[in-house]
A and B are shown apart, each in its own frame.
Chain A
Amino acid sequence: GESVGLHLPTLSVQEGDNSIINCAYSNSASDYFIWYKQESGKGPQFIIDIRSNMDKRQGQRVTVLLNKTVKHLSLQIAATQPGDSAVYFCADKAAGNKLTFGGGTRVLVKP
């Protein structure tokens, strides 16, 4: 069936470096994408979203890039901090459908 997946289960990054988390999606009808951050024992926390009519969107220290040609989504975190250590999920949605999550990437920030 349709699914959202991630390339890397764990990403180790040095504090202060930039992080890039990748995600592939398969539903060509998906037109809305979200990145969530989940810390241990907590629910997913919204980070940033993007609609399919855009290829880039920036937030505070985060940038989401969307490549519809290859159905690829990425989250870039600038100047990664210890507080960024968490599991990151991408999720996609087509009109009338529910939000579908990928399997998650764990980001470990090394001091």
Chain B
Amino acid sequence: DTGVSQNPRHKITKRGQNVTFRCDPISEHNRLYWYRQTLGQGPEFLTYFQNEAQLEKSRLLSDRFSAERPKGSFSTLEIQRTEQGDSAMYLCASSLGGTSSNEKLFFGSGTQLSVL
């Protein structure tokens, strides 16, 4: 399977714990995005990388959230001191990027986080 891969698919944690999610993008895609989606809503942008550089972060991304893409391939999203409001589907997407707007994003199946 050469699509975007996310692990784990599901994560249940207790409030206050730290969690880390991993995303493996499509090979040769230089852009990697993290989105968050709550039930009944569209995905909301969190942050994105161009290769290993994190170029933009949403105001939704509080100080408890950190994302890395150390070698420009896979990425991790860590949430520290989780809160119940962090419960959501965390989606990763990748694209070939480019300077035009014609940028098709391919999404993974997401990691469903439940904070108890």
- List residues of chain A with CB under 8 Å of any chain B CB: 4, 30-32, 34, 36, 41-46, 49, 51, 89, 91, 93-95, 97-104
Report B's interface with A, CB cutoff 8 A: 4, 6, 33, 40-45, 48, 56, 91, 93, 99-110
Interface contact tally, CB-CB below 8 A: 61
Q: How far is the CA of A98 from the CA of B61 in the complex (A)?
A: 15
Query: Is the beta-carbon distance between A34 and B109 smaller than 8 angstroms?
Result: no
Chain B interface SS verdict (over half): loop
Whether A101 contacts B42 by the Cβ 8 Å rule is: yes
A sample of 7 more A-B contacts (CB under 8 A), given A46-B104, A49-B104, A95-B101, is A32-B102, A43-B6, A98-B56, A101-B43, A103-B40, A103-B41, A103-B42
Tell whether, in the assembled complex, residue A98 and residue B107 are in contact, meaning their CB atoms are under 8 Å apart. no
- Distance of B72 from chain A, by nearest CB (Å): 19
Cβ B42 vs Cβ A99 within 8 A: no
Residues from chain A with Cβ under 8 Å of B110 in the complex:
42-43
Quick check: B41 and A98 within 8 Å, CB to CB?
no
B-chain residues with CB within 8 Å of residue A31 when the two chains form the complex? 101
Bound together, the chains give a CA A35 to CA B106 distance in angstroms of: 12
Asked whether B107 lies within 8 Å of A45 as measured between CB atoms, the reply is: yes
A72 vs chain B, min Cβ distance (A): 17
Q: How far is the CA of A102 from the CA of B44 in the complex (A)?
A: 9
CA distance A17 to B70 in the complex (A): 49
Q: List 26 interface pairs A-B (beta carbons < 8 Å), by A numbering.
A: A30-B101, A32-B101, A32-B102, A34-B104, A34-B105, A41-B109, A42-B110, A43-B93, A43-B108, A43-B109, A44-B107, A45-B107, A46-B104, A46-B105, A51-B101, A89-B43, A93-B101, A95-B99, A95-B100, A97-B101, A99-B45, A99-B105, A103-B40, A104-B40, A104-B41, A104-B42
